[in-house]
Amino acid sequence: MGVEWLDYALQGGVPRGTWTLITGEPGVGKSILCIQAVGASVDAMPVVYVSTETRFYDVVRQARQFGIDLSDAVSLTEVLTGKVKEVKSNLMIIDLFGLARQYRELLKAGEEGGEKARAKSPLSMEVVMAAIEKAYEVLGVTEEGGKKDVLVVIDSLAPLWAHAPAMARLITYRLRQRLYRSNVTVIMTNQYAPTTGMTFGFGAEHIADAIIHMWFESVETTKEIRRWLIIKKARLTNHYRKAMRFDIEPGKGLVLLEPGIDELRKWFESNSKGRVSNE
Q: Largest Cα–Cα distance of the chain, in whole Å?
A: 58
Backbone angles phi, psi at 96, to 5 degrees: -65, -20
| Separation of alpha carbons 119 and 100, rounded Å | 12
Report the DSSP beta bridge partners of residue 185.
Answer: 151
Mean pLDDT of the chain: 85
Q: What is the pLDDT of residue 118?
A: 52
Backbone angles phi, psi at 45, to 5 degrees: -160, 160
Q: What is the pLDDT of residue 117?
A: 45
Task: Flag whether pLDDT at 279 surpasses 70.
Answer: no
Q: Which fold would CATH assign to domain 4-274?
A: Rossmann fold (3.40.50)
Q: Do 249 and 256 meet the contact criterion of CB atoms below 8 Å apart? A: no
Task: Flag whether pLDDT at 154 surpasses 50.
Answer: yes
Q: Which pLDDT band holds residue 113 (cuts at 50, 70, 90)?
A: very low
Q: Which pLDDT band holds residue 278 (cuts at 50, 70, 90)?
A: very low
For 200-257, the pLDDT digits (tens) are: 556 677 889 999 999 999 999 999 999 999 999 998 889 999 999 999 999 999 999 9
How many alpha carbons fall within 13 Å on the CB side of residue 77?
A: 17
Backbone angles phi, psi at 240, to 5 degrees: -65, 135
The pTM assigned to this predicted structure is: 0.88
Share of the chain above pLDDT 70, in %: 82
Q: Which pLDDT band holds residue 177 (cuts at 50, 70, 90)?
A: confident
| Separation of alpha carbons 143 and 129, rounded Å | 20
For 136-150, the pLDDT digits (tens) are: 999 988 654 557 899
